[in-house]
Structure 1
Amino acid sequence: MSRTVLISGAGIAGSTLAYWLGRNGFDVTVVERARAQRSSGNPVDVKGPAVDVAEAMGVMPRLRAAASRVERMSFVDAAGRERSRLRLSAFQGGAGDREIELARADLAAILLDGARDHAEIRWADSISGITQDSDGVDVVFENGAGGRYDYLIGADGLHSNVRRLVFGAEAGFLRHLGMYVATLPVDRAFGDEREVVMFNRPGQAITVHPSKGKAVAAFMFRHDAIPGLGHRDLDGHKRLIAGTFSGPIGIFGDLLDQLKAADDLYFDSVSRVRLPRWSDGRVALLGDAGSCLSLFGDGSTLAIAAAHTLAEELTRTPGRPHTAFAAYEQRHRKLVEPRQRGMRAASALMVPATSAGIVVRNAVTRVIR
């Protein structure tokens, strides 16, 4: 029986799925719009069920070698004086001390390296057309080529091309949660290697994360959805951030200069994706494409866990996509839905909307630290 799979997206979810399906005997192709992996992106966690998956893939030693040593978050004023701090062990999941944090780019690169022996990777291309019948999916690529596959998996992120072509415009599924975030590598950390430093103004936050010798800055700010703001408009993103964070920001001022000079900047809205179902015929969505929990919802952990679950179900019921996709969705929604409900509380902790909210946050974290 032919078991060909096309995965759109070579990120965390797509690479994990490619590894498991390829190892289980599927003929896997991964198509990725980018020309290469990007270097930007916020630090992410490998927690809970994702730890077991990474260990079974044999990549956990590499992940640990790339992991940060961060233990605490310090909330500071514009002069860098600490106002409160929070031990990050308070956010550990079910895997306890086995859990790690590392740069998103490092996690994606290590997972993709694990998938290379099990899948063909096509860079700098994307899908422009999809038609399907009961036996397979016909795909047209932007480079003009075509192909037919038994399954198509959209693991292509918040602004999924596969979701748009099969399920409809993203406006019907994506809900802006009143915040934007940008991250970029910067030349230095502001604390020691075990400390994330955060500066807040009402509705705004700047963090500097030491990562693994490669400091990463994040600009987060509350803002209604901006009509027409493209998620690939680098110059527009820079202008928006510079305007939002104008005015005195003390020791963090040089970060804006680095942002203006950056050629690799991650920028997007903090959003939630909800669909009534994650599959249609022989097409299914994975990771952020189907159930985005951007920034505050353990998205990387859920992407790894989801990929493993989907691979299990496709392997268990070959030739029966409806059965496999339904079982995958039923299992994984149990992990996703509680985290989606907790996103607003997390945003109130990280980016209080008012001066009073900052004072309360600092007071509460002084008590629980």
Structure 2
Amino acid sequence: MEHGQDAAVRDEVALSMRLLRHLGSPDEPANLAFSPLSFHAVLPLLASGASGATRDQIVAFLGPAGADAHATLASKVASEVLAGRDGTVPEVRCAMGVWVDAALRLNPAFADAAASVFNAAARTIAFARAPSMAARPSSSPSLYFNGHWYSPFFPRLTKDGTFHVSPDHAVSVPFMTGSHLPTFMDIGCHPGFNVLRMPYSRGGDGQVFAMYIYLPDERDGLAGLVRQISSNPAALLHKTIVPKRPVTVGELKIPKFEVSLKVEASRLLRELGLDLPFSPAADPFSAMLLDSPQKVAVSSVLHQCFVNVNEKGTVAAAGTVASMMGCAMPDDHIVDFVVDHPFLFFIMEEDSGLVVFAGQVANPLLH
């Protein structure tokens, strides 16, 4: 990618950690899953229909790469990164759309830009006739990912074991314990945490996706790990966090898990400093509509996501609606990777470095 897009990717990675820090509670860690890329997809599209201070605030919220770089990245994501075909492995699908109430007039220039730049359909539709709904444009990116591990686990080797939800609370959960390549894995060891890279089978288009599991050394170290990664996400949330050379693995135990999240995220975005798109007093989307009889604004941002990880691979889906470096190890160094306490996970597209899905698991028994 060009330098501008590299900067936009760094902004998307940083946004991933900003969202993770605010969605999670350091006092009471809970399971959660979300798609940073889904959030990123909708914001440049909204920016293209916004004007004035609202557009400037959306662009500033996305990061210092700037409006053009983020629009170019969003276009590339829609047309290349997430343009997988149904029936392929990994199966990756992305759909973008903008809907405006039929009582309003959609700006043809915005509709053309949505289609040509963001690969998004823009059209009018008859919404519910409640007066409060008449002036609300809606934008929705939907992501779907179905990947098979490059080295799948053997279901017959899955065994129950102890998972420490906290230092004084443990539960019994099923752990995946073996794969076709059980002795060599991509693991990075760092002060305070270890990282396991689990690649998915590469599709015919050559795209490479992988899940990265970040495991703090301490059983109650999840909040500290989030702070540590947030201090330098460009380095600590990057494929170079794991050495290119696989290491010998001693004991390997990874819990099966399914986590989900459904959240009205407008409050989250407001707390992070993005408030003008939600204020009709600012007339924020004048570039989206023609001769609107009233000012319009985003009324809510509904984000839904789920991630399921098992012996075969991962299924993940998300939708957002707006209505370090590796470390070298000696050849004889044996590393255990036992995920028996709360951890973070990230699904990344490795050529670009984009974070497609992210989350944390505090208790694998809770869905």
For normalisation by structure 2, the TM-score amounts to: 0.28
- Bigger strand share: 2
**Higher share of residues assigned helix:** 1
